Structure 1
Amino acid sequence: MLNKIRHSVQKFGMLQGGEHVVVAVSGGPDSVSLLQVLALLAPEYGLTLTAAHLNHGLRGAESDAEERLVCRLCGERGISCAVKRVNLTELRQRGRRRRSLEDLGREERYSFFSALGERVGASRIALGHHREDQAETVLMNLIRGSGLEGLKGILPFRDGIFIRPLIEVSREEILTFLLTQGIPFSEDSSNTRDVFLRNRIRHQLIPLLQAHYNPRIVDALNRTVSIVRREDDCLETTARRILDTWQIPDSMAGEGAALDISRLTGIPEALQHRVVKGLLEHLLSGSFRITSRHIGAVIDLCRGEKPAGDVHLPGQAVVRREYGRLILSRGREDTPPAETAGTGGRIPGQFCYPIEFPGCVEIKELGRIVRTAFVEKAHREAAGEGSLAVCLDFDRVQMPLTIRNRREGDRFQPSGMKGTKKLKNYFIDEKIPRRRRDSIPLLADRQSVVWIAGHRLSERVSVNKNTKHIAKIEII
């Protein structure tokens, strides 16, 4: 068994030599075997070991006996042992989290191990999972409807710190090893009760599969894990390269990001889900768990027929569709400052200010200044689409002139067109998001809108060779 463990350690790069390892020891056969194995390998790898035992306080005297056993085993091997006591029942009753005792216990264990590792300067935390644990985990995840992420099971080496040297060893091999070494261990009485799903899988489902379907089902599931892990790693690497190509930052918290939906829908469906997962992880910076439901909602948003919509996620994160664009933001509205400067991202109410020549007027709702002046034709500066400055034929304007935001029934004559169209239809045709439309300043005279600031000038007031008086309007 020791040689098999050496092979696993080397294959998965668990140890390089000289590490300080925190060994999680519950007192059961798996963890006691792990402690003994690492004690035997310590001189070979130059390891420093610290044992960690969490007393859950669930089984009274039995839990205390396990604690004493772990302390004794560590003392006999000259290994320091850190013990922590918690009362999981009390923690759950206090309403700390609405979770099962099994989940709460796991959370407390990992929290304890990680904190201890930081305190003693450990670079590895060793856990005692083995082949049967792997098979049980795969079946649990399969029953719950997991994807590849769940079907790749328990990782031998995770997050650069958690290692599982026994992951390719069977329970039978562990028990034989302890017997030949003459090492005592405890049997957790709760493992015999089928209260937890894992126990039911261990005591009922796996024996059923072995008896009626495949006597080597544990081996088959472990092979499946190896295959799935390779496939998953390939997908993950490809998705990461795609995000790098799209120049998506590792963290978008506080900044957000935007991309063309056609980019996303142009890659294979399996990669679409993986890329969206990566986008959401970047957005939430690992502070919230991304579920398949979150990913599916974003995919549906991209594939839907509606040109606009949004998906709200944990942590005040929002994924918004604006026609062909997907915008990801967190904790704020993702609104371009050129359109809503000074509004804090809020959509303003109705506003309307008279325009005089020459002069200045402040649009308080937008935090902008409108400046007007007359200019000579020879000094007129051409302003392209998207500019916040424009020159128009003043004699063709039907005064009074105002700067305002949209009103029901507004019409506009885009340059180059003979007729007019509804402003609403123009916004739709130009794919201007609905939430931005009230923030766009409009220059309007008595007849219609003559300039959509930052977008288009009306044909009716455009400067031509017959223009005598040119008025310049700019928004600063």
Structure 2
Amino acid sequence: MTQRPENHVRMFRTVKNTLDLPDIMSNVSKILVAYSGGVDSSVLLHLMKDYHHAFGINVSVAHINHGLRGKESDRDADFCRETAREMGFHFYLKKLSLGKKHVSEHVLRSERYRSLCQVAKEAQAQRIFLAHHLDDQVETLLFRLFTGTDISGLSGIQPFRKPYFVRPLLKIPRNAILLEAELCQISYVLDSSNLLTHPKRNFIRRQLIPLIQTQMNPQVSKHLAYLSESFNACKVLIAKEVAALKRSAISGENRYSITQFKLAPKIIQSQLIMNLYREAVSGYSGLRREQIMLARKLLLSKKNEAYVQLPKGIICRKQGDFFLMENAKKGAKS
């Protein structure tokens, strides 16, 4: 146990440095820890107990029971409830009613986050803490790189996604988390579904990353993390330029000047199209590169009246020197 103080203090310092970043804990008095019972969220919860004692932040715990693993799901829920009780934290349990055995990871994640937001409101928590770590960051970056993305995607997972979600472990590798659990004797449960995740992500996690580490660079995770920070800085600058273009181009409700649009660089034009589309669908859905290029081609064309069909019933319509993004039901011409 001689290593415990050094390992634990180093990890706590890393977490605190993340939480000290701008806006993350501003005016925050209560947090909600998303607790699956696995090793990552178990270590996060124990670190938050120390954070609670050090800074007086009120901590509540939420467990989302997907109900897809029968008795194992119930076992995890019971374990989380008992752990929260032993630590003196208020516990919230939400059970999802998905109605079928085979549910996509995307649907599961969306429902889980929706439920966590509901619990946060109930608990009056200003932030929701998630246990994503450095290995998750690297896996996500490589997955996006190989399956197609842009600068926004290569900026990776962010430590804070407004208005709620915080990832305090994002700079900590999983081997350090496992060491913390071992040295501090932190109990956790094993989730059999982790062995059945997306095959492409499984390949990256279990085969590709270890191969790169042994054959090319054992520090690849840190280098990719630095790269994502650089891309994020670029994303911030691009976002400012896109906001400026939107302000200069807007002409009435949801109506934008093509003359102003043409003055912007290609990357700013493309990102504005993406942003307006996301506003139209009221969510995080994105467009593929070819869909963005199709809309951009229309706006730069000499056509006077035309539109392109985009996913989720949205159309990008050109009307003379103006364009708009709207639901097709509001007036797409056949």
TM-score if structure 1 supplies the norm length? Answer: 0.62
Shift of 1:323: 4.5
Equivalence map 1:18-417=2 (5 Å): 18-86=28-96, 88=98, 90-91=99-100, 100-193=103-196, 195-247=198-250, 255-259=253-257, 261-282=258-279, 284=280, 286-287=282-283, 289-292=285-288, 293-304=290-301, 306-313=303-310, 317-330=314-327, 331-333=329-331
Rg bigger for which structure? Answer: 1
Query: SS state of the match for residue 243, structure 1?
Result: helix
Structure 2 residue identity aligned to 1:227: S
Gaps of 5+ in 1: 94-99, 250-254, 335-345, 347-434, 436-476
Query: SS state of the match for residue 25, structure 2?
Result: coil
CA deviations 1:182-210 (Å, max 9, x no partner) are: 21111222323465432221101111221
Match of 1:2 among 1, 12, 30: 12
Query: SS state of the match for residue 91, structure 2?
Result: strand
1:29–1:174: 8 Å Cα contact kept in structure 2? yes
Runs of 4+ more than 6 Å apart: none
2:255–2:322: 8 Å Cα contact kept in structure 1? no
1:319–1:326: 8 Å Cα contact kept in structure 2? yes
Structure having the larger proportion of residues in helix? 2
1:152–1:229: 8 Å Cα contact kept in structure 2? yes
Partners of 2:136 and 2:225 in 1: CA distance = 10
In structure 2, relative to structure 1, the CA distance for the partners of 1:288 and 1:315 (3 Å cut) is farther
Shift of 1:242: 1.7
Query: SS state of the match for residue 26, structure 1?
Result: coil
Partners of 1:247 and 1:194 in 2: CA distance = 44
Partners of 1:310 and 1:109 in 2: CA distance = 36
Q: How many residues align?
A: 322
Partners of 2:110 and 2:197 in 1: CA distance = 21
Query: SS state of the match for residue 326, structure 1?
Result: strand
Structure 2 residue identity aligned to 1:132: D
1:142–1:151: 8 Å Cα contact kept in structure 2? yes
In structure 2, the residue matched to 1:393 is none
Tell me the C-alpha RMSD between the 2 structures: 2.5
Query: SS state of the match for residue 22, structure 1?
Result: strand
Partners of 1:184 and 1:328 in 2: CA distance = 51
1:153–1:225: 8 Å Cα contact kept in structure 2? yes
2:245–2:261: 8 Å Cα contact kept in structure 1? no
Q: Percent identity?
A: 27
Shift of 1:164: 0.7
Shift of 1:263: 2.1
Partners of 1:323 and 1:195 in 2: CA distance = 46
Mean Cα displacement is larger for which, 209-218 or 235-244? Answer: 209-218
Greater relative CO, 1 or 2 (CA 8 Å, sep 6+): 2
CA deviations 1:304-349 (Å, max 9, x no partner) are: 3544421134565432224544344445349xxxxxxxxxxx9xxx
Partners of 2:197 and 2:255 in 1: CA distance = 47
TM-score if structure 2 supplies the norm length? Answer: 0.87
Gaps of 5+ in 2: 1-10
In structure 2, the residue matched to 1:473 is none
